[in-house]
Each structure stands twice: as C-alpha cells, then as structure tokens.
Structure 1
Amino acid sequence: MQCGEILRKILVVTPSSSTTNGLMHPLDNPMYEALRTEHSQYAVTSRSAKRFPADIAPFGGLPPGGDQDLRELYHPDETAVILGIGPESMEGWEVLKTFEVIQMTHSADSSYSKHNGVRLLSASEVSDMLKLTSLVYPSYFRRETASLGEYCGIYSEGELIAMAGIRMKIPGFEEISAICTHLGHRGKGLGSAVTRFMIERIRARGNTPFLHTESDNPAQQMYRNVGFEPRAVLPVWVLRRTA
C-alpha cells in the first residue's frame, strides 16, 4: 500500500474534517473559501463559483453543485485547477490530470533559529521570484501571484536561491506556498529557513499556517520537522475548458 493510500485511510474521515455543528470545515474547500472571504477582492465570480484572475493563478473554487457557474469563468482552452470540491459533471471539460495532495496544518511551536539571509521580498523582485519558480515550481506562480501575500527569500551573489510566501488566506488560516530552493543550493536547510520565517510571521498575526504537498514530495519530512502535521487528503483536478 502506497503512502497516499495509507494517509487517505487515516485522514479522509477525521473529527477535524468538519466543524462542531456538522458543517464542512473551511480548509476542506480552501480555494473557494479564500475567494469568498479574505481574498474576495480578487474574486472573479459567476453566481456561486469563483476564480482568481489569470495573471494571479489558474485556481478556481465552487460550492457543491456549482458546475455550470465554474465553466462560465474560464475561456475555451483555458486551464482550471480545482482543489477540494470539484465539478460533479465533467461536461465541457477535458480532464488533463487528477491527483491528491496532503493538507498539513502547523500544530506545534517550533524553535526558530534565524537564518541571516532570510528577508521579506518586495514587488521589485517579482522577476527574480518568477525565474526561481520557473525552475522548480512551474505553472502555478504568475506575475501577480505575489500580490496575495508577503513573500520571503534568500539571495546568494545577487541570485534568489530560496523563497516561500503566502497564497490562500482564510479567516484564522494562511497557506504557505511556493516553497522552493534552487537546484544548486539544496541540502543546505534553506527551504526550512524560509518556511520557518513564514511560520513565525503567520503565528505573530494569530493565525494557523497550513500548506499542501503531494504524497511523494521528499520535503514532507522537513514540514514535519518544523511542526506541520497531516490534516486531510484533498483531490485536485486540472481541467481544460472545451466548450
């Protein structure tokens, strides 16, 4: 049995998957909840469905039964990425890829040894962020993605070699995303350093950090080392609008 199958058996049905009143937990449908709440100013909306503008991210979200509304938000041949709750019908979509991610929440205080090189990144450094993410985190990070939240990074000899930042925000929660290290600088603890930096920033605001990772991502152990624990296994759909 593979890691993802084991985690699915453990996590798909857990007390944390719903609220005390039986309603779905916001983290079970995080893209939709972010666009409905903390990132509502970015939301492109068609009745019940929502998406980020294309220059920010390909992500969209919908409540159960919002299929037709979601289709209206994407142009023919445009790619949509949906996390948590997907379309009940694939009419009008070509399924390019489906997979699962492990959603992890930060549940433990972890000592933070500051890395002297970690600092917040500015809007003037977006080109450096795009260059790094194109090497190790392609497709999802776009020119306006950094407008969603603050990002931090480490430079070496004028080159950005590690970064992380805030993507989705839901009341009480902030997602750490785009955690990446230049291939030539791995094994130096840089990914851990930028992740810890963002944890500290989120915790200082009184919120809980969370993130998403694929089951075969070797960085999972690092995430555990800095205080993250698996919360749920969520499905992801990568779709192309056909009509």
Structure 2
Amino acid sequence: MSTSVHRPQPHSPATPHVLDNPAWAALTGPHARFAERVGRAARYPTDVSPFTALADPMDPRAWDDLAALVGPGKLTPFSGAVPPAEGWEIVQAGEGVQLVDTSLRAEPAPEAVRLGPDDVPEILDLIARTRPGPFLPRTVELGTYLGIRHEGRLVAMAGERLRPPGWTEISAVCTDPAHRGRGLATRLVRAVAAGIRERGDVPFMHASAANTGAIRLYESLGFTLRRHTSFLLLRVPERKEHATQP
C-alpha cells in the first residue's frame, strides 16, 4: 500500500530553507552524534561521510574554523552554492542538483533486505562497479540501507544519508550493469522513501548535473528540481594560526 505524500512546507523568502545548508542542519540536528566540530564548522568522521559544513558560508570566521578542523594544506570536500573564502584553492569542481519529493509513490519492496555493517565489503564492491558517489566503511550507519540480491549476490541498493530536521536524503542508488532495466532502482527508491515517510520526514536527493539519465528517472518518480549546487574539493590555506582552535 502506498503511503501518503508529505509535501514540503512553505517558508518565507527571507528565511533560509533547511535544505539550503543540509549538511550543517544534519550535523547540528539528527546526526549530531557524528559531528566533529570546531566553532562554526563541522564534518562527519572521514570513514562515515565526506560532508563538511559551515553554519554560514558567507562568514569568514566559519571558514577559519573549518581550516582549524581540517588542518592547513589538507584537502576537504565541500558542497553548496557559495564560493569558498579567500585563500582556499578549488582543486576540483562539479555541478550538482538538489531534488525534493513532490509526488513520489512510496511503497515497500518485499524482495529488499536491510543492509548492515556485515554487508559493507559487498556494498563497497557494488559501489566500485557502479560509482554512484562516495560510500565509506561506516556510511551504512547513517540510516536505513536496502539491497536486492540475485542468486545471493548484491545487485542493487539505495539508502539514507543526510538527515536535516524534517527531511532525509536518499543516496547510493545503484544497480549492477548486468541487472539494469528491471526497475530495481525504482523499487528501492520507493521502499527507502516509504521508511522515510513513516517517521514523518520528506525525501530529497542530490545528483550530478551531468547525470541526466538519473535526473530523468528521479523526476519521473515524483521528484522536482529545487536548486543547483556545486560539489567542490578544496585545499585549506597554509596558515599557522586560525581564528578558532580545536
């Protein structure tokens, strides 16, 4: 049976939306137990997720705090619509999109199984073959991950990543190339969304802007483009002192 649609609540244009800064909202909210934090900057442990976040990306002090957290000269991923502060080097850059559930039909997938820490080696093997995005040894701790097996082998999966208040990101959607065209990704996205809806959250997703096939699939399932964003790999400035120390 399909669960009811939870539509995003309207907000004032003058008030930032929680999805404008989802990693910070998650790390200071439902995922606070994972947060490594210095002042106005936070990140997930490096074996959980690559996400780093700032309370206000327009605040130079937040960038100083992130530099103190990561370390001078080190590399760190960062996502958002605001360019980095002066002195930060952009090593790699890519464009992304954020999509939100507006009319998704969420329903369980009876053939899907819950994936946990014991499944991580097999998950990482599937991730290496399909490259849906970063997945680390402890990413599975972030939420519910579901998989579909064929003759005992994991061939498709999807799960939960960022959890800003009231929202949950669906991520790591992937299918073994030999098993594509069977609707496995669709069934898993709907099944993960059903669990998200059960606790009262709204599903959302991120995707590479270049992955037009995936974007078309998600839009056909009931997701709507909300905004464009950037995925950056940054180098911390070489500085001996920062405004805030750990």
* CA distance in 1: counterparts of 2:94 and 2:65, whole angstroms: 23
Residue 86 of structure 1, CA deviation: 4.6
Q: TM-score, normalised by structure 2?
A: 0.84
One of 137, 142, 146 as aligned partner of 2:136: 142
Amino acid at match of 1:162: A
- SS of residue in 1 equivalent to 2:47: coil
Q: Say whether residues 1:154 and 2:148 are aligned partners.
A: yes
One of 74, 79, 100 as aligned partner of 1:105: 100
129 and 76 in structure 1: CA distance in 2 versus 1, 3 angstrom threshold: farther
Q: TM-score, normalised by structure 1?
A: 0.85
**Unpaired stretches in structure 2, ≥5 consecutive residues:** 1-7, 239-246
* CA distance in 1: counterparts of 2:153 and 2:86, whole angstroms: 43
Partner of 1:10 in structure 2? none
34 and 240 in structure 1: CA distance in 2 versus 1, 3 angstrom threshold: same
Partner of 2:4 in structure 1? none
* CA distance in 1: counterparts of 2:119 and 2:137, whole angstroms: 11
Amino acid at match of 2:223: F
* CA distance in 1: counterparts of 2:122 and 2:225, whole angstroms: 31
The alignment covers a number of residue pairs equal to: 226
Task: Report which stretch shifted further, 138-147 or 187-196.
Answer: 138-147
Residue 76 of structure 1, CA deviation: 4.9
Residue 25 of structure 1, CA deviation: 0.6
**Unpaired stretches in structure 1, ≥5 consecutive residues:** 1-15
229 and 73 in structure 1: CA distance in 2 versus 1, 3 angstrom threshold: same
Task: Report which stretch shifted further, 141-150 or 231-240.
Answer: 231-240
Amino acid at match of 2:25: E
Task: Report which stretch shifted further, 78-87 or 144-153.
Answer: 78-87
Partner of 2:227 in structure 1? 232
Partner of 1:27 in structure 2? 19
19 and 187 in structure 1: CA distance in 2 versus 1, 3 angstrom threshold: same
* CA distance in 2: counterparts of 1:78 and 1:179, whole angstroms: 29
Deviations 1:171-228 (A, max 9, x none): 1100000111112211111111111111111111111000001222111122122211
Partner of 1:50 in structure 2? 42
Identity of aligned residues (%): 33
Partner of 1:5 in structure 2? none
Q: Say whether residues 1:122 and 2:116 are aligned partners.
A: yes
72 and 121 in structure 1: CA distance in 2 versus 1, 3 angstrom threshold: same
Amino acid at match of 2:181: G
